[in-house]
Amino acid sequence: MTPKISVIIPCYNAERYIVSAISSVFAQDWPNLEVVVVDDGSSDRSAELICASFPEVRLVQQRNQGIAVARNHGIACAQGDWIAFLDADDIWLPGKLQAQWDTLSAIPGTRMCHTAFEFWTSTEPSPEPAFLAALQRRSGDRKRWLGVSGWIYPQLLLDCAVWTSTVLVHRSVFSEVGPFDQSLRIGEDYDLWLRISRVTQILHVAFPYALYRLHPTSITRSIVQENHRGLVISRALARWGYLSPDGSSARKADVDRALANTWSEFACVHLTAGNFIRARQAALTALRIDLTHAKGWKVLISTFAGSLFSQK
């Protein structure tokens, strides 16, 4: 029997994109679908458009509480045994769910799958035919779309190699590892994939079945005050160390390098914003983790130069 898949779409002021996102779900060749849109306190016409265009969609409305709360709310409301996620400004391409199901069926007992994806810089609701044609020409190069697959905990310690809008996961894992951590405003997905990687293999489909929208107009962004990526990795290490459930292990030197890099990147953001003390603290943290981290030294020196220049 075809299992029921519940697609969770968190939505916040996405009236320009939400119709295209939902349409890409219903374009899937999957007969047993449920779409749950969680409107996270939108002030635009998102909810109105959903009701007018997709009466079959289950619309759940809440006050604005953030994406982790919205996704958890959607999971709680979902009726399917399998849960998929799609952000309101992203797009699925045809065949995604079937390809994931075929991949999961090849290794019985596996409870999560993700796919390759393509970055898409656009403010248009739907991709242009020329873009899709070019992607189709590239999609046959399997090496281009390879990703981490199997017991991937060690690889996840180095990088968040799973993108949320490509995930299909069995709902039973949430009973074991818990939902998205609502205390994390950023990195809540990374944290969840690490926890899930402790209880199941995570398989990968080497084909770009989703488009990750990049907004060219989003130049100015708020400066984050916490290194969420570093926090997520450090929490995982404190809880499970470097060893994967299948017996493989991440190299400490590689993890240290990755962790130090999160701190040097965080330092760069604050250096650019002129927050020299915060940048210096972050650079020092990077160097305490990995004394050979060249980027950390570069940022640290730049903080002193920046401080002197700003005083003139």
Question: For residue 267, what are its two tokens?
Answer: 């330092």
Give the pLDDT confidence score for residue 175 in this predicted structure: 96
User: What pLDDT does 220 receive?
Assistant: 43
Q: What is the pLDDT of residue 309?
A: 53
| Same domain, residue pair 173 and 78 | yes
The reply to whether 142 and 28 lie within a common domain is yes
Q: Are residues 286 and 184 in the same domain?
A: no
The answer as to whether 240 is a domain residue is: no
One domain, residues 148 and 29: yes
* Boundary residue ending a domain (189, 214, 239): 214
Q: How many domains, the chain?
A: 2
Domain that holds residue 200: 5-214
**Same domain assignment for residues 271 and 201:** no
Contacts for 170 with CB less than 8 Å, ≥ 6 apart: 81, 82, 83, 111, 112, 200
- pLDDT per position as a tens digit, 213-228: 998 755 445 678 899 9
Q: Is 129 helix (H, G, I), strand (E, B) or coil?
A: helix
**Residue 305: its pLDDT value, please?**
80
Place of tokens 């290490």: 237
- 15's CB contacts (< 8 A; 6+ apart) are 42, 44, 45, 46, 49
Three-state DSSP at 13 gives: coil
Residues 284 and 175 reside in one and the same domain: no
Residues 305 and 198 in one domain: no
* Residue listed under structure tokens 């190299």: 251
pLDDT score for 217:
58
Q: pLDDT per residue over 151-176, tens digit each?
A: 999 999 999 999 999 999 999 999 99
Residues 301, 181, single domain; the answer is no
Residues 102 and 153 in one domain: yes
Instruction: Give me the tens of pLDDT residue by residue for the chain, a chain 312 residues long.
Output: 799 999 999 999 999 999 999 999 999 999 999 999 999 999 999 999 999 999 999 999 999 999 999 999 999 999 999 999 999 999 999 999 999 999 999 999 999 999 999 999 999 999 999 999 999 999 988 889 999 999 999 999 999 999 999 999 999 999 999 999 999 989 999 999 999 999 999 999 999 999 999 987 554 456 788 999 999 999 999 999 999 999 999 999 999 999 999 999 999 999 999 999 999 999 999 999 999 999 999 999 999 885 545 554
Residue 306 has a pLDDT of 59
Instruction: Put residue 251 in one of left, alpha, beta given phi > 0 → left and psi -120 to 50 → alpha.
Output: beta
Q: What are phi and psi of 54, to 5 degrees?
A: -140, 75
Domain match, 59 and 173 both: yes
* Three-class DSSP category at 171: coil
232 assigned to some structural domain: no
CATH number at residue 18: 3.90.550.10
For residues 136 and 199, membership in a common domain is answered with yes
Task: Clarify whether residues 132 and 52 are in a common domain.
Answer: yes
Q: Which of 187, 214, 241 is the last residue of a domain?
A: 214
How far apart CA 89 and CA 167 sit, in angstroms, is 16
Q: Would 228 be classed as within a structural domain?
A: no
